[in-house]
């Protein structure tokens, strides 16, 4: 029986993973080792009972008493706090879903890789902040990383049976987010509510806003470079409003392989779960005659400064990805709290990268988790300072 753990089980990706596991037989078909959540204790306990998990862990230590109460008599062990999440990652499992949001997802993923697991990686921040470290750890322990981000799953699938050296370019598709058709001069006034109105994908709140600002795509550009080992200038972004092509690979003979499907994350979660096989998935089938046309347009750089910043981060590498991601997370917090405006998020991130310029270098082979966490902390402190000043000047 295959053993499975889900980190970030109560989130958008986690819920969809649980849905697929339940449809594939749930506790009768899988041995569920660990399920982790953040603050949603009720849902964590409910899924841990339903899937008969060995342990359920919530990130917030204040939630432990409630988790224990909710799991009473179920036989599921309860634990709480970041150390308990790290310990849960040390429990060997054949297949591990990494779906914690943000930099907190890095350590559990690294720990799981050390057990030679198959890591289904939704937490893109792992590759953005510590790509070389994560990929080296996987290689060292014979572990496999399967991308879950829909774009990277699409690229992975387009590369099956192909020689990677024949790849000329990778074309990431982007919906353009909720504000893609807004006049440029109005973007500064966009509210959280405006940025949350995503045209195609139903996702968590943070990633939906990152989609409107294209910080999400910026992370994915860096993720592509780290996961597939291509050069930065081989990664392109194209706006494809229908979100039906999930990404494309262009080869040196001019051929382009595109992956199509409904905008449903269960495509890529299910692919990672069933890999190397394909099994039935409960996703909508495309009616191409009804869709009739697909459209594309180049992203305007003035609208999406995050894409320019991603290029800078790839040129710097080292700890630049950790600083970029942390600054982005803090800038997003300030936008969500109403402190800074929509376009100020990129200004804050750019200012943080400039302020930390002298500290971003790091020999790739010598990068450690502590280096990454140290830069993450430093960039958060700087980003908070800079965002507060920006909020005051607004």
Residues engaged in binding ligand NDP (CB under 6 A): 8-14, 37-40, 59, 85, 99-101, 104-105, 122-125, 149, 201, 203-204, 206-207, 265
Nearest approach, Cβ of residue 389 and ligand NDP (Å): 26
Neighbouring residues of 373: CB distance < 8 A, sequence distance ≥ 6:
103
Smaller CB separation from ligand NDP, 246 or 351: 246
CA-closest candidate to residue 35, choices 57, 16, 20: 57
**∠ CA(214), CA(324), CA(318), 5° rounding?**
130
Nearest approach, Cβ of residue 394 and ligand NDP (Å): 27
**Main-chain dihedrals φ then ψ at residue 257, nearest 5 degrees:** -100, 125
Smaller CB separation from ligand NDP, 206 or 317: 206
CA 216/CA 128 separation, integer angstroms: 11
Nearest approach, Cβ of residue 36 and ligand NDP (Å): 6
Smaller CB separation from ligand NDP, 105 or 351: 105
Nearest approach, Cβ of residue 8 and ligand NDP (Å): 3
Smaller CB separation from ligand NDP, 110 or 390: 110
CA-closest candidate to residue 171, choices 235, 225, 83, 107: 235
Nearest approach, Cβ of residue 43 and ligand NDP (Å): 7
**Main-chain dihedrals φ then ψ at residue 7, nearest 5 degrees:** -100, 120
User: Distance between alpha carbon 155 and the CA centroid of its chain, in Å?
Assistant: 15
Neighbouring residues of 233: CB distance < 8 A, sequence distance ≥ 6:
none
CA-closest candidate to residue 129, choices 372, 337, 344: 372
Nearest approach, Cβ of residue 85 and ligand NDP (Å): 6
In this structure, are residues 6 and 97 in contact, taking their beta carbons and an 8 Å threshold? yes
Smaller CB separation from ligand NDP, 175 or 390: 175
Q: Nearest-CB residue to ligand NDP?
A: 11
User: Distance between alpha carbon 159 and the CA centroid of its chain, in Å?
Assistant: 21
What is the torsional sign of CA 236, 97, 7, 283? positive
Smaller CB separation from ligand NDP, 138 or 218: 218
Helix axis angle, 344-355 relative to 369-392, nearest 10°?
Answer: 130
Nearest approach, Cβ of residue 377 and ligand NDP (Å): 14
Smaller CB separation from ligand NDP, 14 or 131: 14
Smaller CB separation from ligand NDP, 324 or 390: 324
Beta strands in the chain (DSSP E): 2-7, 30-37, 55-58, 77-80, 95-98, 118-121, 144-147, 167-174, 235-239, 245-251, 256-260
Nearest approach, Cβ of residue 57 and ligand NDP (Å): 9
Nearest approach, Cβ of residue 271 and ligand NDP (Å): 13
Nearest approach, Cβ of residue 15 and ligand NDP (Å): 8
Give the SS3 label for residue 238.
strand
Neighbouring residues of 133: CB distance < 8 A, sequence distance ≥ 6:
110, 367, 368, 369, 372
Smaller CB separation from ligand NDP, 182 or 201: 201
Smaller CB separation from ligand NDP, 325 or 344: 325
């Amino acid at each position: 029986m295959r053993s499975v753990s889900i980190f970030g089980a109560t989130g958008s990706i986690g819920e969809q993973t649980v849905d697929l596991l339940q449809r594939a037989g749930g506790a009768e078909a899988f041995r569920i080792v660990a399920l982790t959540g953040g603050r949603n204790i009720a849902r964590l306990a409910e899924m841990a009972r339903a899937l008969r998990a060995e342990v359920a862990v919530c990130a917030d230590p204040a939630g432990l008493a409630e988790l224990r109460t909710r799991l009473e008599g179920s036989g599921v062990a309860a634990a709480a706090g970041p150390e308990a999440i790290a310990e849960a990652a040390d429990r060997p499992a054949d297949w591990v879903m990494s779906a914690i949001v943000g930099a907190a997802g890095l350590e559990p993923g690294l720990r799981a890789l050390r057990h030679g697991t198959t890591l289904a990686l939704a937490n893109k921040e792992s590759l953005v902040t510590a790509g070389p470290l994560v990929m080296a750890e996987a290689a060292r322990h014979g572990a496999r990383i399967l991308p879950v981000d829909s774009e990277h799953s699409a690229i992975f699938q387009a590369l099956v049976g192909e020689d990677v050296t024949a790849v000329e370019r990778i074309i990431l598709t982007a919906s353009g987010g909720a504000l893609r058709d807004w006049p440029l001069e109005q973007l500064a006034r966009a509210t959280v509510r405006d940025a949350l109105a995503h045209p195609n994908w139903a996702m968590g709140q943070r990633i939906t806003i990152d989609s409107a600002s294209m910080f999400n795509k910026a992370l994915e550009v860096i993720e592509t470079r780290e996961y597939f080992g291509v050069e930065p200038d081989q990664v392109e972004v194209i706006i494809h409003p229908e979100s039906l092509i999930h990404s494309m690979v262009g080869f040196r003979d001019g051929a382009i392989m595109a992956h199509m499907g409904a905008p449903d994350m269960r495509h890529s979660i299910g692919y990672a779960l069933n890999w190397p096989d394909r099994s039935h998935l409960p996703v909508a089938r495309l009616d191409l005659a009804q869709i009739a046309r697909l459209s594309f347009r180049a992203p305007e750089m003035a609208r999406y400064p995050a894409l320019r910043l991603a290029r800078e981060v790839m040129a710097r590498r080292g700890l630049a990805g950790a600083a970029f991601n942390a600054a982005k997370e803090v800038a997003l917090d300030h936008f969500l709290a109403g402190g800074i405006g929509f376009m100020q998020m990129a200004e804050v991130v750019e200012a943080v990268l400039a302020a930390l310029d002298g500290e971003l270098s790091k020999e790739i082979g010598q990068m450690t988790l502590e280096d990454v966490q140290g830069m993450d902390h430093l960039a958060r402190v700087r980003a908070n300072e800079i965002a507060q000043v920006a909020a005051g000047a607004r």
